[in-house]
Amino acid sequence: MDAQTLYDGILAGNRRAVARGLTWIDEGGVRGKDLAHRLFAHAGKARVIGITGAPGVGKSTLVNALAINLRRRQNTVGILAVDPSSPFSGGAILGDRIRMQESVDDQGVYMRSLASRGHVGGLSRAAFGAITLLDAAGFGTILVETVGAGQAEVEIMRYAQTVMVVLAPGLGDDIQAIKAGILEIGNVFIVNKSDREGADMTVRSLRGLLSLTPESGEWSPPIIKTEADRSVGIDRVVDSIEQHQSYLRQHNLLNDLRYRQAENVLEQSLDDVRKEVEMLSRRESLWKDTVEEILRGKDPSLYARKLFANWLNATPRGE
């Protein structure tokens, strides 16, 4: 598939085009970056919901239940589930789909598994590109699942409008993990597996911890008990997502987020320009000559400008 066909297909909501576009973005090369940047203008309509929490608390099961509920409310749903890559082989086993079978049987739901591939910047960029793509393809709600352990995974939650932090009773270190920084980013807290002993205890300690964190604005994050595998409490979760979304709208915070994202895209493009300038210069003898000049005592920033000017001449780009 060529870039234009892919772009048109994605905007038309074609599932094959969506799938291949995500592959391009995921591979982190130039074609994926260009695609994501072109699609940015068509994004900004979707609700982006982040779901994070310790391994095994029931995030995927919850996402499945949420997707089914949202479908009943006439939403289309895009799902991204991010799992860590093995630090040894670089490979990964992506198993979130197992718990999502029921929802993905519906053509109004699209689900994609992503591996973290080990680097913070790369993952966060690919995830942002992937969200942009699903948004541009017309999915009304995008659910992003990450394990709330690594920095890279928490980083992704910056792109979500509403962040849900999921806990389960009985995992002592769960609350510890929460202390380590996810607490501040949660807009809605879920105590899943509330069929298990200790759920009320978890709610209480969570409430205690939340009372210690500084209030951010007028939103006070609700704590909701769920049994995701039996769809208990899911209506309340979706309701609180909607409440949080209208809070964001009322306070113009969605526009702020969109502004920050546009800024982010600009920063990325600037990084890309810098890399392209270096790549082009290195390909020519220019790089070596410039280094020689600097060895002779010439002003490095002046010569950096010359590299930039050379790149500008070599790559004319229309609007």
Ligand X SMILES: Nc1nc2c(ncn2[C@@H]2O[C@H](COP(=O)(O)OP(=O)(O)OP(=O)(O)O)[C@@H](O)[C@H]2O)c(=O)[nH]1
Quote the CA–CA distance of 295 and 18 in Å, as a whole number: 50
**From the list ligand X, Mg ion, another protein, none, partner contacted by residue 22 (C-beta under 5 to 8 A by kind):** another protein
**From the list another protein, ligand X, Mg ion, none, partner contacted by residue 58 (C-beta under 5 to 8 A by kind):** ligand X
Quote the CA–CA distance of 277 and 172 in Å, as a whole number: 51
Instruction: Restricting to residues 178-197, name those near ligand X by CB under 6 A.
Output: 192-193, 195-196
Supply 227's token pair.
């049994």
Q: Cβ of residue 113: shortest distance to ligand X, in angstroms?
A: 10
Site for another protein contains 86 (CB under 8 A): yes
Quick one: 17 or 57, whose CB is closer to ligand X?
Answer: 57
| CA of residue 169 relative to chain centroid, distance | 27
Count interface residues toward ligand X (CB under 6 A).
17
Site for Mg ion contains 60 (CB under 5 A): yes
Q: Cβ of residue 297: shortest distance to ligand X, in angstroms?
A: 57
Q: Cβ of residue 193: shortest distance to ligand X, in angstroms?
A: 4
Closest to 47 in 3D by CA, of 223, 228, 221, 254: 254
Site for ligand X contains 202 (CB under 6 A): no
Site for ligand X contains 58 (CB under 6 A): yes
Instruction: Restricting to residues 253-292, name those near another protein by CB under 8 A.
Output: none
Single-letter amino acid code for the residue at 140: G
CB-based contacts of 163, cutoff 8 Å, min separation 6? 49, 50, 52, 157, 185, 186, 187, 188
Site for Mg ion contains 153 (CB under 5 A): no
x-or-dash pattern for Mg ion, window 73-102, by CB under 5 A?
A: -----------------------x------
x-or-dash pattern for another protein, window 104-123, by CB under 8 A?
A: xx----xxxx-x-x------
Q: Is 289 within 8 Å of 268 (Cβ atoms)?
A: no
Site for Mg ion contains 245 (CB under 5 A): no
How many CA atoms lie less than 13 Å away from 130 in the CB half-sphere?
31
In degrees and rounded to multiples of 5, residue 201 shows phi and psi of -60, -45
Output DSSP code: residue 96: G
Site for ligand X contains 60 (CB under 6 A): yes
Q: Cβ of residue 291: shortest distance to ligand X, in angstroms?
A: 48
Instruction: Restricting to residues 258-297, name those near ligand X by CB under 6 A.
Output: none
Write out the DSSP string of 136-168. HTT-SEEEEEEESSSHHHHHHGGG-SEEEEEE-
**From the list Mg ion, ligand X, another protein, none, partner contacted by residue 153 (C-beta under 5 to 8 A by kind):** none
In degrees and rounded to multiples of 5, residue 68 shows phi and psi of -65, -45
Could you count the other beta carbons within 10 Å of the beta carbon of residue 170? 13
Quote the CA–CA distance of 209 and 65 in Å, as a whole number: 27
Segment interacting with ligand X, rule: CB under 6 A, options 20-28, 59-67, 71-79, 122-130: 59-67
Site for another protein contains 98 (CB under 8 A): yes
Whether the CA torsion 22, 28, 31, 37 is positive or negative: it is positive
User: Which positions lie near Mg ion, rule CB under 5 A?
Assistant: 59-60, 96
User: Which positions lie near ligand X, rule CB under 6 A?
Assistant: 55-61, 96, 99, 147, 192-193, 195-196, 227-229
User: Which positions lie near another protein, rule CB under 8 A?
Assistant: 15-16, 19-20, 22-23, 26-27, 85-86, 88-95, 97-98, 101, 104-105, 110-113, 115, 117
